[in-house]
């Protein structure tokens, strides 16, 4: 006796009146009537409401990592005179990426194949396209060797929600990549140059990495594992940020020598949004509310906690005291390191990855950075190279070691994928991870350099020294706090300050003439 049949096309249980005695006919008719009532133009048979709800929730969590998460973190972790500019660079990137994404970039990353590393550009703005079932048209994977060569190994990815959900979900990842990149450039990049850079880098760099590794490009079909952006987002933003810092030039010497956070408590608030938002970052990338998403979320938190504690312990052992900013950096490196393998490694492997990400990036930042002349020359404001490029590549390589075969089968199109420790050709996976990382590094160095050289022909990449001395007030005519006086030069010509001072002096003179003691 069977009340339902599994439909592989709709991934749902459809009621069928098969093998039932007559007394049940009325019950089945009633159930079929209810099922028919639930299928409407806004709830088609392929729509899974749970998956759709989770995917939009996960996307919003990632969006909150940027706005207000990184807006708050950037605005508070920099010197007070750069709080407004730093926060605005993040806010502008979030808005600019969205418009570019729906206008042409989404299809370049997740549309039909144009080149092995790029999709065809096109808008994602029309109702007929956006309400259709989400698919990734370039993800069908074929056998390349043996008797089955040319036959489908894994069919094209079809999801249980509309394309509109997929466009929104992938947008927030593109946006946060540009915002992370901005961390290398805070405190001196010309805001006009940044406004031009964002759409160009999104178009010519981000979409290439996304299509190559996620959208059905050559690295995707080769079997390189990047579960949620260790390469596409973190390695690319870290390398591109460091490259951009080289071309833009350094901050003022005074700022490089002393750049204290203006509000560490707000930095912790931004870091908290970043940490918890990572549940959507890694938990949303199975594209479904399934058991793989649960594994990814748990592993993410294990790695973040282990990395934070490792970084803090090393700080205590080396410097004699724990650093709050150091703990935040350790948290970030842990989140970054687990990202390429969040849903394909076991919990004990996530713990090892957390310990590695709390120690190796610490070493590159605190030891290597001070001994290598290139690191001394290039002014990477927030150390994005160490926290994202180093940690992202580290995570990708460790994924090549620890990727568990059963978990890989939940996520990857290349069957029988596994990490090196599981044998049976697993060593090849480590090699794939290394090559994938080198491709992302090379592409970002070259493309980022070309973009900035071209922009520099028309617009100065670095602010003039006059603006660098003053900061936010000179660049935006605004300041983060009403207080000032921690050593910056205050521009007296702004906002009628001179007139107010003259007025105050006249008032003081009048009151003193009345023999009233006045304290200023």
Beta bridge partners of 40: 43
Nearest to 225 by CA among 421, 443, 414, 442: 414
Q: How far is C-alpha 239 from the geometric centre of its chain's CA atoms? A: 14
Alpha-carbon separation of residue 112 from 124, 135, 211, 305 (angstroms): 13, 10, 10, 40
pLDDT on residue 412: 83
Integer Rg of the chain from CA: 27
Determine contact, residues 259/79, Cβ cutoff 8 Å: yes
Query: Which among 397, 347, 104, 459 has a CA at the least distance from the CA of 230?
Result: 397
Residue pLDDT, tens place only, 417-430:
899 999 877 789 99
How do residues 127-174 score in pLDDT, each as one tens digit? 999 999 999 888 888 877 666 677 777 888 899 999 999 999 999 999
Residue 113 forms beta bridges with which residues?
119
Report d(CA 314, CA 155) in Å as an integer.
47
CA pair distance 484, 420, nearest whole angstrom: 56
Which of 85-104 are b and which e, b meaning 16 or more Cβ less than 10 Å from the residue's Cβ? Answer: bbbbbbbbbbebbbebbbeb
Q: How many Cβ atoms sit within 10 Å of the Cβ of residue 490? A: 13
CA distances from 53 to 160, 190, 475 (A): 11, 40, 41
Q: Distance between CA atoms of 204 and 226, rounded to whole angstroms?
A: 20
Q: Is 504 left (phi over 0), alpha (psi -120 to 50) or beta?
A: alpha
Bridge partner residues of 154 (DSSP): 141
- Intervals of the chain under pLDDT 50: 1-21, 501, 504-505, 507-520
pLDDT on residue 492: 57
What distance in Å separates the CA atoms of residue 133 and residue 368, rounded to the nearest whole number? 49
The alpha carbon of 351 is separated from its chain's Cα centroid by a whole number of angstroms, namely: 22
What count of other Cβ atoms lies within 10 Å of the Cβ of residue 503?
11
431-479 tens-digit pLDDT: 999 999 999 999 999 999 999 999 999 999 999 999 999 999 999 999 9
Per-residue model confidence (pLDDT) at position 2:
36
Handedness of CA 34, 35, 36, 37 (dihedral sign): positive
pLDDT value of residue 144? 73
DSSP letter at 65 equals I
Q: What pTM was estimated for this model as a whole?
A: 0.85
pLDDT at 516: 38
3-state secondary structure of 166: helix
User: Nearest Cα to 364, choosing from 354, 353, 374?
Assistant: 374
pLDDT value at residue 13: 41
Distances (CA, A) of 39 to 50, 91, 159: 15, 40, 18
Question: What are 302's two structure tokens?
Answer: 């294990």
pLDDT of residue 140: 84
For the residues of 438-496, what is the DSSP string, one character each? HHHHHHHHHHHHHHHHHHHHHS-SB--HHHHHH-HHHHTS--SSS---SSPPP-TTGGG
């Amino acid at each position: 006796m069977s009340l339902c049949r599994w439909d592989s096309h709709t991934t749902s249980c459809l009621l069928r009146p098969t093998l039932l005695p007559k007394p049940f006919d009325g019950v089945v008719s009633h159930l079929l009537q209810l099922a028919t009532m639930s299928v409407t133009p806004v709830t088609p048979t392929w729509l899974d409401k749970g998956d759709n709800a989770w995917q939009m929730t996960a996307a919003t969590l990632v969006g909150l990592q940027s706005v207000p998460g990184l807006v708050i973190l950037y605005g508070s972790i920099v010197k007070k005179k750069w709080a407004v500019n730093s926060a605005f660079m993040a806010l502008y990137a979030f808005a600019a990426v969205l418009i570019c994404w729906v206008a042409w970039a989404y299809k370049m990353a997740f549309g039909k194949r144009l080149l092995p590393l790029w999709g065809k550009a096109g808008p994602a703005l029309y109702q007929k396209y956006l309400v259709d079932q989400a698919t990734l048209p370039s993800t069908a994977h074929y056998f390349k060797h043996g008797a089955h060569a040319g036959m489908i190994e894994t069919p094209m990815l079809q999801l249980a929600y509309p394309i509109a959900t997929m466009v929104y979900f992938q947008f927030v990842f593109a946006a946060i990549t540009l915002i992370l990149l901005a961390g290398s450039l805070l405190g001196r990049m010309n805001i006009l140059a940044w406004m031009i850079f964002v759409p160009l880098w999104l178009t010519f760099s981000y979409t290439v990495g996304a299509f190559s590794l996620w959208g059905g490009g050559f690295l995707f079909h080769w079997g390189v594992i990047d579960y949620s952006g260790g390469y596409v987002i973190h390695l690319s933003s870290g390398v591109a940020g460091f490259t951009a810092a080289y071309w833009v030039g350094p901050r003022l010497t005074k700022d490089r020598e002393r750049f204290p956070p203006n509000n560490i408590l707000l930095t912790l608030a931004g870091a908290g949004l970043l940490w918890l938002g990572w549940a959507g970052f890694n938990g949303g990338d199975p594209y479904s509310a399934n058991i793989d998403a649960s594994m990814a979320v748990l592993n993410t938190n294990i790695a973040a906690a282990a990395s934070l504690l490792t970084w803090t312990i090393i700080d205590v052992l080396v410097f004699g005291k724990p650093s709050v900013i150091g703990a935040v950096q350790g948290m970030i490196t842990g989140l970054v390191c687990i990202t390429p393998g969040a849903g394909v490694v076991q919990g004990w492997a996530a713990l090892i990855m957390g310990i590695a990400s709390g120690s190796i990036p610490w070493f590159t930042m605190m030891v290597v950075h001070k001994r290598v002349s290139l690191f001394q020359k290039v002014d990477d404001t927030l150390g994005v190279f160490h926290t994202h490029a180093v940690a992202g590549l580290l995570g990708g390589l460790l994924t090549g070691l620890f990727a568990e075969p059963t978990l890989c089968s939940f996520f990857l199109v290349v069957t029988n994928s596994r990490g090196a420790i599981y044998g049976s050709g697993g060593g090849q996976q480590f090699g794939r991870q290394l090559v994938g990382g080198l491709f992302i590094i090379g592409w970002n160095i070259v493309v980022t350099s070309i973009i900035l050289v071209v922009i520099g022909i028309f617009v100065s990449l670095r602010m003039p020294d006059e603006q660098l001395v003053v900061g936010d007030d000179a660049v935006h005519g605004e300041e983060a706090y009403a207080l000032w006086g921690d050593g910056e030069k205050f521009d007296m010509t702004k906002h009628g300050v001179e007139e107010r001072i003259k007025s105050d002096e006249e008032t003081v003179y009048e009151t003193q003439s009345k023999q009233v003691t006045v304290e200023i």
